[in-house]
Structure 1
Amino acid sequence: MQRLGTLFIAFCMVMISGSLGALLYLVAGVPAAISGLAALTLLLGLAWWQFSALQTADRAHLGRQIGDLSSTVTDVARALADISRRVSDVDHRLQAIERRGTSIEAAAGEAARKAIHPLSAELVVLTGLVKDLAEATATHEQSLAVFEHNLQALAARPQVVMTPAAPAGAAAAAPEAEDVALAAPPAPVVRHGMLAGLSEADGLALAHRAVKAGRVEIYLQPIVTLPQRKVRYYEAMPRLRAEDGSLLTPDDYGDLARGGRLEPEIDLQVLLRCVQVVRRLASRNREIGLFLDLAADTLGDAEAMARYAEFLEANRALGPALVFQLAQEQFRLLGPVETEALAGVVDRGFKLALHRIQDLRFDARDLAERGVRFVKVPAVGLLDRSRAVGAEIHPADLGDLFSRHGIALVGDAIETEGQVVDLLDYDVKFGQGNLFAPPKPVRADVLGAERRPMRETVEAAPVPAPRVEIAAADVRREETRREDARRDEPAPRRTGGLADLAKTTIRRA
């Protein structure tokens, strides 16, 4: 653009000079040589004037640029001076902090030495006391051993007892009865739960009769999403109903069932009832699943596991709705046979869960590879810092760790609203506990038939145990048989309790 302006000015200069020469020649009659010289002189003068004007403008522009640059340099120098001053201040502060840290470290070291010195002295004294206590305990144990030896020696001596004369037959039978009484050890007694006070043999017989008679019931407790509290799953909790109508929880009969190999049959009956519940819920278009127990003894029982696997194979379509849960301790102690059986359950599309958590040491990758999709940790175990000792990860990070491997963390045994608020910070996906709802029995219409009354009389013989079959026709046949038996049985009568029942049984035996 500037070049075009220069060309235009030059063109105008030429036109002005040419016009002046033409006027002098044509109008004034000046000779052509003089007219041309005058036109050339005017052209040179105009060119010089233009050149001078351009130089003056360039000088003015250059001066303005130099002035701007000088002001910029001045601002930069001022900013550098300010930065230098601030750096100097920071350096002084750092030196002051370093001196203060050195003095604090020295003071802390001195205070620690002063505090540790009396503790060291007390530790030496305590060590001596513990040593003296150990020596005294050893001496006491030696004395007890000598005393027990003397008692045994005294008991082994023959004792002479002054008794009236007895017939010869009675005299001969008395030592024999006495030897039998001394040889018979006391029977083990159940010490907790509903069966407390009964011998283990009577308690096991009672549980065995309940299982064989098909009196295995399930109670359902909801598992809700957090924080929405929408019911997503239920946990099926087994109960055994005794002859007098009392309900036995797993805490009551669990040890006896494991010792008497009843867990496989209980698991089979619970599975049958859970399938009935899931089918009923599916008929109502409710996407709700069930958690149910699977014992290690069931996995290790070849016959029971074969029936279990057949039933699962026939109900593979219910895979997303059934979650089999194992105790953490049993899961860690599974042998090759149990592990293979559990892998067969997972291969059929069913999910696994861990419950009864005793510690927070988990290998999330291994759990995910073995099919575990839920881990149920008690709320107290997550929130109580003292219970997290030995854990490889902070409880607050468990939810994130599990979610990276496709495992959902379930807060179990939630009792208060405060626990719910705290668990939300732990990325807990589901919650379960009496705060949301206690375990409740399944309605008879859900199972497809009302529960038949149980005979309460001791003399009644137990009904043969229903076998869990894989065909739906067999299930319907079993339910029809139970309805017929219910109509034929008399109304139940109550007794005084489990202890009275066992005493009556022993007395009549």
Structure 2
Amino acid sequence: MQALVYTFIAIAAVAVGAAAYFGLTFTPANAILAALVFGCVCVVLMERTLRLRAENRLERAIEDLSRLLATDAQAGAVLGQRINSIAEVDAGARLEGVEADISVLGTVIRQVAEAVADLEERKAKPAPVSNDRLITAPSAPVVYEPEPLIPLPLLRQAVSENRLIYHMQPVVTLPQRRTQGFDLVPRLMLENGDLADRADFMPRRGGEDVLRHIEGVGLLEAVTICRRARANAQQVTVYAPLSRATIGDSTASEQLLVSLEANRAIASGLTFTISEADWQDLTTGERAIADAVAKKGAGFSISDVRSLRIDIAELAAQGVRSLRIDAARFIAEPEVFTDFHASDIANYVARFDIKLLGTGVVSERQIVELLEDGIVLIQGPYIAAAGPVRSDLGMEPLRQTAR
């Protein structure tokens, strides 16, 4: 563009010289001098305009950097206050009191259990019923969620020893299979150097403090990746895990909001993955925290969705960007999820700027069937396994793994 402007200036200078020579009866030397003066004046004016534009752009960049540094300083001050308040707490005395209360409570529970057992033994047994008149109802199968292989105490020890790491698993768009984002996958480094998957160590019941720590590390990792991608002029979405253990805790939720406020420039690239059970069980206060997260620019991805017979418009207003469904189950039993036709539900959900995300894709046939049903976001071991991200190459390593 600049070369074109200079070309026009040269043409205009020649035209001025010609006009001076033929129209104003200048001598050839005077006409050439007039053309050169006109060209020099135009070049000076053009350079001045470009310099002023560059200075204005530099001033705006400095102002943006100043605001970012101010928010970082504010977040650091809040974190320092938290650390100071924790350092002043006498945890030893409180723990002794809690241990004593737990001991007393355990004794009382044991006594109550013994009393109930005595009452059951003394209770008269019911009269036997003849087999020909006995009608037994079929018992419903009880589904027990398996306990993690790594118990909670060992998990706490591993987390305290900084053996928790996060890997990335791509989420791709169909049919080009371009990387749309990355799932943060927590893994635990064992003492023998092996890596334990999420299902092997994530606590099913209790352990909220460990969950908060794991999700806090995931948030820090997601912010780092988004900042690195922005520095490399790349558009990337990072799906970070989130649960009620963090949203329901005042300190953890406040730290989450402070981090999002300090990183508003990259908040649009953050999407928090929360299970459908946790999302539906959010209390009024927890729902307010989720709304505040959405107002900061981040979004939500609901995982383990069992049914699409829900208010999609309400979810869109609450900042939900995607609904994760099991690909195999949706292909085999679409009627379990919705009363719509399988090929229409994705278009209906897309009207509210929400996308269906098929998870657990294990074959090419599943990809074809999901694409026929209009589902364009998929993730699973067939696409790419979770792996580390090399800091020197940004997002490139995992993009190459996607088939």
CA distance in 1, matches of 2:204, 2:161: 17
Structure 1 counterpart of 2:219, one-letter code: L
Would you say 1:440 and 2:387 are equivalent positions?
Answer: yes
Gaps of 5+ in 1: 1-130, 139-189, 196-202, 448-509
Would you say 1:348 and 2:347 are equivalent positions?
Answer: no
Choose the corresponding residue for 1:404, options 340, 346, 351: 351
Would the alpha carbon gap of residues 135 and 401 (structure 1) be closer, same or farther in structure 2, given more than 3 Å must change? same
CA distance in 2, matches of 1:133, 1:326: 52
What secondary structure is seen at the aligned counterpart in 2 of 1:393? Answer: coil
CA distance in 2, matches of 1:134, 1:250: 50
Aligned to 2:338: 391
Aligned to 2:271: 323
CA distance in 2, matches of 1:230, 1:303: 38
Would you say 1:430 and 2:377 are equivalent positions?
Answer: yes
Would you say 1:246 and 2:246 are equivalent positions?
Answer: no
1:283-313 per-residue CA deviation (whole Å, 9 max, x = no partner) reads: 2222111111111111001111111111111
CA distance in 1, matches of 2:167, 2:297: 25
Q: TM-score of the superposition, structure 2-length normalised?
A: 0.59
CA distance in 1, matches of 2:204, 2:360: 25
CA distance in 1, matches of 2:202, 2:188: 11
Q: TM-score of the superposition, structure 1-length normalised?
A: 0.47
Aligned to 2:185: 237
Aligned residues: 258
What secondary structure is seen at the aligned counterpart in 2 of 1:440? Answer: coil
Would you say 1:268 and 2:219 are equivalent positions?
Answer: no
CA drift at 1:273: 1.2
1:200-255 per-residue CA deviation (whole Å, 9 max, x = no partner) reads: xxx21211122223332111111111101111111111112234433232212222
Aligned to 2:360: 413
CA distance in 1, matches of 2:337, 2:362: 26
Maintained 8 Å contact 2:148/2:204: no
CA drift at 1:137: 4.7
| Runs of 4+ with >6 A deviation | 131-134
Choose the corresponding residue for 1:297, options 210, 235, 245: 245
CA distance in 1, matches of 2:367, 2:146: 35
Maintained 8 Å contact 1:218/1:237: yes
Aligned to 1:182: none
CA distance in 1, matches of 2:204, 2:134: 42
Maintained 8 Å contact 2:327/2:360: yes
Would the alpha carbon gap of residues 331 and 207 (structure 1) be closer, same or farther in structure 2, given more than 3 Å must change? same
Choose the corresponding residue for 1:333, options 269, 273, 281: 281
Structure with larger Rg: 1
Aligned to 2:323: 375
Structure 2 counterpart of 1:246, one-letter code: D
Would the alpha carbon gap of residues 444 and 390 (structure 1) be closer, same or farther in structure 2, given more than 3 Å must change? closer
Maintained 8 Å contact 2:358/2:377: yes
CA distance in 2, matches of 1:442, 1:338: 33
CA drift at 1:136: 5.5
Maintained 8 Å contact 1:415/1:433: yes
What secondary structure is seen at the aligned counterpart in 2 of 1:261? Answer: helix
